[in-house]
Structures are given as C-alpha cells and as structure tokens.
Amino acid sequence: MTPRRFLVCLALAAFAFSFSVSASADEAKKPNIIFIMADDLGYADIGSYGAPDAKTPHIDSLAVDGLKFTNFYAMSCQCTPSRTAILTGRYPQRAGGLECAIGTGNVGRYDEAEALAAKGELGLPAEYAVLAPALKGVGYVNGVFGKWHLGYEPKFSPLEQGFDRFTGFLGGNVEYFEHYETSGLDVYVKGREPIDREGYLTDLITEDAVAFLDERAAEPDTPFFLYLPHGAPHFPFQGPGDREPKRTAENWMDGTRINYVAMLESLDDGVGKVLEALEKNGQAENTIVIFTSDHGAMEPGLNTPWRDYKSTTFEGGLRVPCVVRWPGKIEPGTVSHQVGTLMDLTASFLQIAGTEAPDQKPLDGIDILGHVLDGKPEMPRTLYWRYRRGDKTWWGARDGNLKLVRKQEGDAVEEWLFDLATDPTETKSVTSERPEEYGALQRKVLLWEKEVRPWR
C-alpha cells in the first residue's frame, strides 16, 4: 500500500469511528420530560376537548403537534391519591391512608388517614416514591414547582423523594395572591423553608419552571424531569384580576364560570411560556411535554359529555384530558382511543429513561406511550378505583367496556353497571339485564381490594 493510500484509509477509518461515537452518543442521550398536571380541570375545560368558552391555544398545540388520548383516566376522583399514583406508578391504596385528599391543616378525612395523622405519618413515605428516584438514579435532574399535597411534615418533602428543586405549596389549595391556606400554617415554601412572595400563583409557578429550564440549558447533556403540578383551576376561584374580595373560609369557594375561565386561560399562558423557553433554549426537540389533570372537575368546571363531577367514580370524576408532544417520535395529530391512566405514564417515563422501579416491585401501569408508538392495537383494560371520606366510600371498576360504580354511605348502598360501548354517559344501569357479568365484576373488585392492601 502506498503512503498516500495508507493516509486516505486512515482518515476514512477515523471518520467512521468518529461518526460511530457521535451516533452512539446521540442514541444514548435521554429525552427531557415535562409533566404538567392541572388541578381539578375537567375533561371539556380545554379547547381541544370541547371547551365552549376557554381559549387554550398553547395546550391545544400539544395535541396538534402530538398525541391526544380520548380514553384517559386519573387513578382517583380526588387530588392526593392521583398524585400518589403518578409518583409511585401504583394504585394509591398500596400507600395507605391516601385514598382521600389530605385535609387543609394536615387533616385525615377517613379512619385510616386519621390514624396516620395522629402519629405524624399522613403523607407519601419516601421509600414508596418511584418516579423521581428512578430518574435521578440514571442522571436526571428533577424539579417540582406547584402543588405537592402528599404530606406536610418535612419527611414527606419532595426533596426527600428524589427531587432536586422545589418551590410550591404543601396542601391542597392556597389563596392565589397571598399564598395562604385557611389553616394558618406556613405552607408556601422554597426547598424546605417558608417564603413570602408577591405575585399570582399560576404566574409564579410558570416563572419557577422557566428559571429551571434556563438553568438546565447550561448543561444540555444532562437530562431533566420537570414536574409542574399547577394549582389552577382548583378553588379559590380567582383569575389574575380577582384579587378582591379578600378570601376567607366563608367565601373560599365562591366563584363563577367567568372566574374559572380566566384561571384556565392564565394556565394556558403559562404553558405557552414554558414551550417558548424550550424553543429559546434549544431544548424542544429532545423534550417530551405532557399535559393532563389529576381528576375531573367540580362545578363550574365542565366534564362534558361524562356523568357527574369530582369526588364520584362516575366518568366525570375520573376521565381527564391527556396530550403528549414528542418531536420526532409522535406524529402530529395522532389520536388514541386506548384506555390509559396516570400510572401508565409512570411506566412510560421509566421505560423512556431506560430504568425501572428502585424497589424492584412491579408497577401497576403499562407503558402506554410505548404501546401507542409501536402501533399496537387497542386492548381492553381492567382498572379499579376506591375513594373514601368519612363514612362514605365510592368504588369504580372498568373491565373492557363494562363499568361498575358503587357508593356506600353509612348503611345505604347504591350500585350501577354500565356498558360504556353503548352507554358512555352512564345513563342506564344494566345490573338486572346482565346478572352474571355484574356478579363477576363484583368479585373482581373484592379480589383487587385484597391485593392492594396497604404496605404499612
């Protein structure tokens, strides 16, 4: 071989090696994840799901540019258990005491929760947290800004559960301008310390999120997980222009659809600023953005066309919007009718990051994004819900297209069986027409309750 030919071959080999290393590095680069969860937002409260009045172009753009689910469920009809499900990837019943929203002032609202509160144990134990610790274990930097609602005590802080940054409020709701809750406790914190801060809550959560994105832009090769659990549109019903009248326990829940829509549109503005920051920082192409709600709305929210509201296991209490943008992976305008849940997203996030639950226990959800991206056919699911408050318990179970709803209050029991294929709005119970299927689903619920008994 001549010296000239040798040099050419050496150069080509070096180029091939360089290309191979670069390709491997690109393949190994983990995507960033932004998970935005509204609070008490109804299925039909955003434009892409039929809102007749609210203008939500930025949230809607996620559906236009990505994936829209039509059959997506929260794992409870209240706040705390749904948040437990997403951060653990499991039925919230497994955590114990978290089947109802933790009451203002760190109050348990049913027997199991009351007993835990009396011992200072009402919250999500750090050893049960899965999502943030798993991501952190494979190099993600994790930030959470907004509503926590998984325990007031320091041991339940996000900083004890795999998050590196936290600014937000510990309880279920705060006044939007002065950030207090009616208990009088200091609940608005940065890290672990209470803070005083001026500004409308939705704007401040957005401000913190954008600052986190700007910070992460300085380390583009380090992936991040940004969890944005907004307070809006949960009561008190205050839009950006509703600072007065002063909110007290007596008028805390006063509001109209006009106030509510103002909150929705402010939330959408915040989502727009997050998307703008991603573009400015060059992060958009390698970032998955998900928007959803923790459960259905209470009035004046809209759960159309589904039956009823928050705090019930009818579809209106459980069905939520969910849109996902993932550039280069999800085709714009994709629509999926596959039944999915919040805890499925946990499984998807871990799969995307190339990791698994740190405790090695199986998750209760499936990799829903992988299922859709692989083009797999829609499959029936069997899902369960249970919500407890005082002497009232609601159950729900979906098995294929059959849906069982049960309510017990004291000794009074009501139960319904619906066929969602022919009656998606749950208007006519078919318990008497389909007794065998009714009995079979009742038995499945009993077996599920045994299987998800609390770990503590």
Q: Is 12 helix (H, G, I), strand (E, B) or coil?
A: helix
Question: 79, 179, 230, 295: which is the annotated catalytic residue?
Answer: 79
| DSSP state letters, 129-162 | --HHHHHHHTT-EEEEEEE--SBSSGGGSGGGTT
Cα-Cα end-to-end distance for the chain? 74
Could you tell me how far CA 267 lies from the centroid of its own chain? Answer: 15
Instruction: Give the Cα-Cα-Cα angle 75, 406, 98 (nearest 5 degrees).
Output: 40
Measure the CA angle with vertex 86, ends 100 and 201; round to 5°.
Answer: 75
- Give me the torsion for CA of 49, 52, 55, 60, rounded to 10°: 10
Q: Taking the alpha carbons of 296, 301, 305, 307 in that order, is the dihedral positive or negative? A: positive
Measured CA angle at 151 (ends 145, 153), to 5 deg: 105
Looking only at the bridges linking them, the beta strands covering 165-169 and 32-38 are unpaired
- Residue 4: CB partners within 8 Å, gap ≥ 6? none
Q: Distance of CA 115 to CAs 274, 335, 385, Å?
A: 41, 44, 22
229 closest CA partner among 32, 36, 33: 36
Active site residue 234: no
Name the active-site residue from 77, 100, 149, 179: 149
Other C-beta atoms within 10 Å of 118: how many? 10
Q: Are strands 32-38 and 224-229 parallel, antiparallel or unpaired?
A: parallel
CA distance 426 to 429: 7
Q: Which ranges constitute the DSSP H helices of 1-78?
A: 3-28, 57-65
Yes or no: say if 192 and 216 are a contact pair by the CB < 8 Å rule. no
The amino acid occupying position 177 is F
CB contact set of 417 (below 8 Å; sequence gap of 6+) = 402, 403, 404, 405, 429, 430, 431, 434, 437, 438, 441
Q: Does the active-site annotation cover 179? A: no
Identify whether 245 is preceded by a cis peptide bond (ω within 30 of 0): yes
The owner of tokens 């689910």 is 69
What is the set of active-site residues?
79, 149
